[in-house]
């Protein structure tokens, strides 16, 4: 098992320099539209108050409908949108057909989900609002972001040893 892992690492090692040699295309201009979309989303997170630590505590203590109303109405709007996109075979702005990769279930959806839920309740933020809290001047949340990066990195590091 261990030996196989090491061999696998060696194979990936030998291919990585080639990957790095690839000349990166300009990533700035094609992505400006997503920066603008992010700005809109950031404004929405404030106006919806979903980035508030207090709103998250309220949600998990079942003391307010606010968060549930937002998540449910967002899902319904998304559902109707995707239904229309599929029905009309809509294309994106690059004239490419819109395809959404299906999710592939594994046990991590349960274990990882439970762990993420715990982190959400403790920090009062999920990954989107995490960036937004920093934008509102809660600079110490940068530490939360760095920890979240460490968590993601640790998952990548021990992925093969975790049940999936």
Per CB under 8 A, contacts with other proteins among 66-85 are 66-67, 69-79, 81-82, 84-85
Residue 2 or residue 102: which is nearer to other proteins going by CB?
Answer: 102
Interaction with other proteins in 9-38: which residues (CB under 8 A)? 9, 12-13, 16, 19, 22, 24-25, 27, 30-38
Among 3, 7, 46, 87, the residue binding other proteins under the rule CB under 8 A is 46
Taken in order 146, 152, 153, 154, is the CA torsion positive or negative?
A: positive
* 24 alpha-carbon distance from chain centroid: 24
Among 105, 50, 56, residue whose Cα is nearest residue 73: 50
Among 3, 4, 6, 140, the residue binding other proteins under the rule CB under 8 A is 140
Site track 100-139 with other proteins (rule: CB under 8 A), x = hit = xxxxxxx-xxxxxxxxxxxxxxxxxxxxxxxxxxxxxxx-
- Residue 159 CB neighbour total at 10 angstroms: 10
Residue 3 or residue 96: which is nearer to other proteins going by CB?
Answer: 96
Interaction with other proteins in 49-68: which residues (CB under 8 A)? 49-61, 63-67
Among 43, 88, 89, 161, the residue binding other proteins under the rule CB under 8 A is 43
Contact flag: residue 7 with other proteins (CB under 8 A)? no
* 138 alpha-carbon distance from chain centroid: 21
**Residue 3 Cβ, how far from other proteins at the closest point, in Å?**
16
Q: Is 91 helix (H, G, I), strand (E, B) or coil?
A: strand
Q: Is 15 helix (H, G, I), strand (E, B) or coil?
A: helix
Structural contact between residues 135 and 39, judged by C-beta atoms closer than 8 angstroms: no
**Residue 87 Cβ, how far from other proteins at the closest point, in Å?**
13
Give the whole-angstrom CA distance, residue 7 versus residue 20. Answer: 21
């Amino acid at each position: 098992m261990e030996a196989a892992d090491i061999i696998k690492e060696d194979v990936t090692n030998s291919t990585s320099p080639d990957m790095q040699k690839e000349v990166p295309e300009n990533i700035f201009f094609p992505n400006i539209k997503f920066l603008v979309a992010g700005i809109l989303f950031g404004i929405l997170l404030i106006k919806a108050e979903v980035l508030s630590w207090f709103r998250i505590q309220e949600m998990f203590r079942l003391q307010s409908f606010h968060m549930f109303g937002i998540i449910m109405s967002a899902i319904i709007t998304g559902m109707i949108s995707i239904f229309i996109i599929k029905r009309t075979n809509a294309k994106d702005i690059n004239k490419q057909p819109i395809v959404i990769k299906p999710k592939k279930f594994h046990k991590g959806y349960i274990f990882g989900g439970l762990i993420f839920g715990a982190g959400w309740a403790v920090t009062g933020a999920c990954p989107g609002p995490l960036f937004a809290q920093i934008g509102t001047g809660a600079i110490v949340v940068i530490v939360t972001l760095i920890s979240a990066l460490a968590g993601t990195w640790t998952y990548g590091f021990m992925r093969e040893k975790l049940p999936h």
